[in-house]
Every structure is written in structure tokens, then in C-alpha cells.
Structure 1
Amino acid sequence: MRGLTTLIFSVATAVAAVAVAAVASAPAAQAAPGTPVLRYSFDQATPSDESGHGHALTTRAVRGGSTLAVAHGTGQALRFPKHCSGQKCPRVVLQTASTDELNPGTGPFRYGATVLLPKKQTTKGQNILQKGYSHAGGQYKLQVDGKAGRPSCVLVGTGRHVIHQARSATSVADGSWHSIECHRSGAVLTVTVDGTVRGTAAIPANLSVSNAAPLSVGGKGAYADNDQFQGTLDDLWVARD
């Protein structure tokens, strides 16, 4: 009987250890600091803005581009098309309507997402989220750069064409989940990966971002050279400090 009790205890201990390891390896959902003005968990069949601000997403796609809902933690995430080069590749993005509420102006703000990107899916550049363009009206953007798969945060001021970029010193293209946050505070732009600051950039303290573009998720738009994101995306948000 003592041997049976010992065996049961050993099995229970092993099961508990496995359970703890599984929980430890599962990425925690990224909580948006500050006051969220946009948030998507992608847990619904049709993604809705869980910040309460009503920024609905519309799918824009060409050549059969689509997203696929996949399990992630207790909910789900969105998988974007795999790597494909050429003019006939599927492309897809999700976009909000144009709204001034998502323009931070000169104020402090944050934005981020949780991503999974395999090493073999990296390209010269993949956009996770962006609002605006570098040539007009200013821009803020979160992207994954180059074959190394390093995330970076980008700001371009309204009426200016200088690109300010805070690039992470570490890669996120390893097939695991990573949370990425961009933070603009005064004259500093910071990129944080999994809770650790990985890069900073100096920016003009009066830099302002205000444009009429929609916020675009997964690429610049639904066309060939759109810097298509080619991984899996979850918990995307924008917040004001």
C-alpha cells in the first residue's frame, strides 16, 4: 500500500510539474496600459473593438487573401498569409474607418500587439499595425524588420519626412509568442519586447501625428507591395497615457 501511495504521489507531482511548465510557457495576454482607445482580442468570429470606442474593422483583400482564426491560450488569434513573393500573391489587411480619435497629436501614447512569427517567414519588412504614411500627415507604425525579424516602432511627424525608428536589439522571429509595445513619451520613442526595453530613439518633443488615414492591421493596404505581415497576431491595441 505504501508503494502504491508513493507511486500515486510521484505521478501527481509529475503531472503538476507539467501543468506548471505549460502555464509558464504560454504567453500572457498583453494588457494595454494607459487609457485604451482601440483594442482587439480577435476572440470573436468578427473582430470587435473591446475598448468601447467602436472602431470596427473591415477586411480588405486581393487575390484570395484571408486571415484564419487559430487557437491561442483560452481564445483565438489571427493567422495571416504565409510568405509569398510576386505580384500575384494573396494580400489581406484589416482597417478601421478614418477617425481623429486615433491621432495622438503631440501627446504621449502607446500601441502594441502579441505576435508569433516563424524564422522562415521573415521578409525585408512586415507591418503589424500602422496609421498614416511617411510622406504625408505623419505616421505611427509597428513592424518587423528584415530577415533577422527584429521589431521596430516608427514615428513620422505631420508635415515632416524624417523617419524616427526605435529598433529592437533582439529578434521575435523564432516561432514563439512575443508581446511588443511602442511608447512615445515626450522626446523618446521606446520599443519593449516581453516587458523588457529593447531599443529607444530620440524624437522631436513637438512631433505630431495627425492624418486622415485608417488604422491598418497586417500591412499598408490590399495591394502587391504592402509589407504584408506573415505571422499570427493577437491582442492588438492603442492607448493614450
Structure 2
Amino acid sequence: MLLSMLMMSAGLSMGTPVPITIARYDFNGQNGLVLDDSGFGHHLRIVSGHGGQVRLVVHGTGNAVAFPAHCELTVCPHVALQSPGTADLNPGARDLAYGADVLLAPAETSKGQNVVQKGYSKTSSQYKLQIDGTAGQPSCVLVDVRRPGIRMVRSSVSAADGRWHRLRCERAGSRFEIYVDDVLRGRTRIPAGLAVANNRPLSIGGKGAYRDNDQFNGALDNVWVRIG
């Protein structure tokens, strides 16, 4: 609804491809862990289990948010930052871009760590940015609302080297790409009509607070979603 109202106020129809940053988090405000800097009000809440916590760390001249360290115990801390579920964060079949700055050490990798996602691959449509496996390779995922099946593009380089990297997933029509530090590192084709629409929250750092949450174990900054 917010996206529709903004486009109408600018004299544009919903069919007009106007890129709009619908959510952005730089963790620098007074309410650094929850404030949506885009102005659309998709503020985050902390969901946690088994003592999971997030904390602010210095990144450049501002802050980033750090998640629990890698854990191989039977019960590990789990935490994620989640917005309310809202249709404004659903791109449908429109162009979509999303990303984050990430810091992950080589020893902090695991089979899969979620950076940002909306929806689930098995029970709804989805868009997601994750870091896969011990090699720490970022990948982007799309799942269509009508035809379930994971569409993935994986980076040819790792992002788990103890340095900050800027990751970006970009979908334009049937083109689906991943960028690391603004360099194209992977490309694939997807159905032009692929659509993502679900009532799930935008989730940062993990699926949620439950055991199988694909916990991110590094630090994140400048998380964003752009539609159009």
C-alpha cells in the first residue's frame, strides 16, 4: 500500500518501472537495531532463542550489527531481526535488488547462513541472500509463488575472509545476478514471469529464533531492498 501511494503521488502507474528502496537499515540511528531508514516504516524487532543476542560494533564512521559466533553445540544461540510481514516488501514479478555489507571470518562459516530473506522456499515464495558452505560463497535465491523450485545464482568468489564485502542480488526480467564489491560474480536466467509474494516478514541474520534458522555468524551493515 505504501509503495502504491508513493507512485500515485508522483503521477505514476503501478506498471511504471520506478526503482524504490522499500527498506534500508544502517544501524546508526538512535534506535539503531530497529529503524528503517527508507521512511516506509518496516522497523525491525529482535527475535531470539537460547540466549541469542545481537550487538552493535563499529563499522567505518558508524555501526554494524554482530550476530552470535559459530556454534557446534546441540543447543546454540539463535537470533534474527524481523520486520512485520507486509505486501509492500513483495516484488511480485517486478525487478528486484537487495543486499548487505557483510563481515565473516573463515572460521565462522557453516553449511548455510542467511543474510536477508523474505519467505520460505518450501512453504511460500522467497527472495534470499545467503553465504553457503565452508568456502563462504554468497548466493542469491528466488522461489516463484506459483511454481515452487529454487532458482539460485552463486558467487564465484568467497566473502568469508575476515574483511567487509558489499553483496548485491539483482533481478531484472529474466536476468538474475550476484555482485561482490560491485563486481559481477555470477549470472543465471530465470522465468520472466517469476513472482515473489508472501505474508512472511523480512528477516535479517537468520530465519527466526528456532533451531534450524541458518544463523548468520558475522556482522552486517547497510541492509537494503529495492523494488522496481
Q: TM-score, normalised by structure 2?
A: 0.89
1:77 paired with 2:68, answer no
In structure 1, the partner of 2:152 is 165
For residues 122 and 65 of structure 2, the distance between their equivalents in structure 1, rounded to whole angstroms, comes to 30
- 2:8 corresponds in structure 1 to none
Could you tell me which runs of 5 or more consecutive residues in structure 1 were left unpaired when the two chains were aligned: 1-32
- Aligned residue for 2:107, secondary structure, equals helix
**Cross-structure match for 1:118:** 105
Aligned: 1:51 with 2:29: no
Match of 1:42 among 17, 21, 27: 27
Equivalent pairs: percent with the same residue? 50
What corresponds to 1:24 in structure 2? none
Structure 2: distance between partners of 1:71 and 1:45:
15
Q: Confirm whether residue 174 of structure 1 aligns to residue 178 of structure 2.
A: no
Measure the CA separation in 2 of the matches of 1:137 and 1:201.
22
The Cα offsets for residues 107-127 of structure 1, whole Å up to 9 and x where unpaired, read as 001000000000000000000
In 2, the alpha carbon distance for the partners of 1:86 and 1:207 equals: 39
* Partner Cα separation in structure 2 for residue 191 and residue 169 of structure 1: 9
Amino acid at match of 1:135: K
Q: After TM superposition, give the deviation of residue 225 of structure 1 in Å.
A: 1.2
Q: Which of the two has greater helix per residue? A: 1
- Kindly indicate whether residue 84 of structure 2 is the aligned counterpart of residue 94 of structure 1: no
2:218 matches 1:234: no
Match of 1:27 in 2: none
User: AA paired with 2:75?
Assistant: K
CA RMSD in angstroms comes to 1.2
Which 10-residue stretch deviates more, 154-163 or 106-115?
154-163
Q: How many residues align?
A: 209
Separation of aligned partners in 2, 1:185 and 1:49: 25
Q: What are the superposed Cα offsets for residues 163-184 of structure 1, whole Å, 9 maximum, x if unpaired? A: 0001000000000000000001
Counting only pairs closer than 5 Å after superposition, residues 1-241 of structure 1 correspond to structure 2 as 34-46=19-31, 47-241=34-228
Q: Is the 8 A contact 1:113 1:181 kept in 2?
A: yes
Using the TM superposition, give the Cα deviation of residue 201 of structure 1 relative to its aligned residue in structure 2, in angstroms: 1.6
Q: 1:84 to 1:235 in 2, by over 3 A?
A: same
Moved more, 53-62 or 81-90: 81-90
Distance 1:87 1:221, change over 3 A: farther
Counterpart CA distance in 1 for 2:161 and 2:44 is 28
- 1:45 CA displacement: 4.7
**Which whole-Å CA distance do the structure 1 matches of 2:169 and 2:40 have between them?**
21
Contact 1:182 1:190 in 2 (8 A): yes
SS in 2 for 1:144: strand
> If you compute each CA radius of gyration, which structure gives the higher value, 1 or 2?
1
With normalisation by structure 1, the TM-score equals 0.85
CA distance in 1, matches of 2:54, 2:29: 13
Shift of 1:85: 2.0
